[in-house]
Chains A and B, each alone.
Chain A
Amino acid sequence: MSVTKKFLYVNRRPPYGTIYAWEALEVVLIGAAFEQDVTLAFIDDGVYQLTEGQDTTAAGFKNFSPTYRSLGDYEVTKIYVEKESLEERGLTLDDLQHLTWEDEDDDWAEKDSIKLVSRSELAEIMAGQDVMFNF
């Protein structure tokens, strides 16, 4: 399978309440084995998926938020968070987990995975994709 496509996974929903966020992450992790050009975007309530310090004890759900930290090991290094969605919810970058990846072409330097982008920048990113998954 030599085709490489640009894959964008768009995450739009909060992490709990429905299973979409968790099952979306499962697609990303499995999909990583196919070595496509993968980008993740978090918009609307989807930005809550990346928040630091999630505690699901009272709800009785599995807290899957630590899994996002392994994305770098799966070579998922481009994670775009929509700036307006964060601001509309009173959040900043500091409220999100610090996700990183190691760049083997740069002496394994640790680099940030999350990049804030504006709504219009994200529209351009979307326009440049081959495949979009919406969750």
Chain B
Amino acid sequence: MKLTIQVNEGPYQHQATDSAYNFAVAALEKGHEIFRIFFYHDGVNNGTRLTTPPQDDRNIVERWSALGEKHNLDMVVCVAAAQRRGIVDDGEAQRNGKDATNIAPGFRISGLGQLVEGAIQSDRLVVFGD
């Protein structure tokens, strides 16, 4: 089955992001295809490489990056939500005159159309959040 996963909550604050990750891992193990993972609302905070959790805890951002690299996943951070919350890549830094970037490896910033397209192209849209 072809899946698009939507993550609506930030890391550590909310279990939704852990559940989404575990679901993605399980789906891939079962041979399903993940068309896209779309990060929205505070979910965009899953995509900052500046996250530094305590060493005895899981590193949620690095975990996403590793999964993305292993399976060549399309992990998209919503641009409108990212701009509000300060998730920045090179293009956004240039466009908005910011002096830094923080996007984590494997993530890209793009528009909400990517979420809608994912819902159209996939057999299921699976949403994680309250």
Within 20-43 of A, Cβ neighbours of B (below 8 Å) are at: 20, 23, 26-27, 30-31, 33-34, 36
Min Cβ gap B62→A in Å is: 26
Contact B113 A131 (CB under 8 A): no
Q: Which of A5, A20, A30 contacts B41 (CB 8 A)?
A: A20
Whether B41 contacts A3 by the Cβ 8 Å rule is: no
Q: How many chain A residues touch B (Cβ–Cβ < 8 Å)? A: 18
Which stretch (B27-35, B50-58, B96-104, B116-124) binds chain A?
B116-124
Task: Write the nearest CB–CB distance from A86 to chain B, whole angstroms.
Answer: 22
**Cα of A134 to Cα of B115 in the assembled complex, Å:** 13
Q: Which of B85-123 contact A (CB under 8 A)?
A: 111-113, 115-117, 119-121
With both chains docked as a complex, state the minimum distance between the C-beta of B81 and any C-beta of chain A, in angstroms: 6
CA gap between A27 and B127 in the complex, in Å = 14
Is B77 in contact with chain A by the CB < 8 A criterion? Answer: no
Q: Are B115 and A27 in contact (CB under 8 A)?
A: yes
Residue in contact with A1 in the complex, picked from B84, B112, B120, B129, CB distance below 8 Å: B120
Is B21's CB within 8 Å of the partner chain A?
no
- Find the B residue at minimum CB distance from A18: B41
Q: Are B113 and A34 in contact (CB under 8 A)?
A: yes
Task: Establish whether residues B40 and A23, one from each chain, have CB atoms under 8 Å apart when the complex forms.
Answer: yes
Tell me whether chain A's interface is mostly helix, strand or loop, or mixed: mixed
- The distance in angstroms between the C-alpha atoms of A3 and B111, with both chains bound, is 20
Across the interface, do A30 and B119 meet the contact criterion of CB distance under 8 Å? no
Determine the residue in chain A with the shortest Cβ distance to B4: A131
- Asked if A30 and B127 sit within 8 Å, CB to CB, the answer is no
Q: A36, B80: Cβ atoms under 8 Å?
A: no
B113 contacts A1, C-beta separation under 8 Å: no
Closest chain B residue, CB of each to CB of A1: B120
What is the CB-to-nearest-CB distance from B30 to chain A, in angstroms, rounded to a whole number?
22
B127 near A134 (CB under 8 angstroms)?
yes
Q: Say how far A60's CB is from chain B's closest CB, in angstroms.
A: 15
Residue B5, interface by CB 8 Å: no
Chain B residues positioned under 8 Å from A23 (CB to CB): 40-41, 80-81
Chain A contact residues, CB within 8 Å of chain B: 1, 3, 5, 7, 19-20, 23, 26-27, 30-31, 33-34, 36, 131-134
| B residues at A contact (CB < 8 Å) | 6, 40-41, 80-81, 84, 111-113, 115-117, 119-121, 125, 127, 129
Q: Which 6 A-B pairs have the closest CB atoms?
A: A30-B112, A31-B116, A131-B119, A34-B116, A131-B125, A27-B112
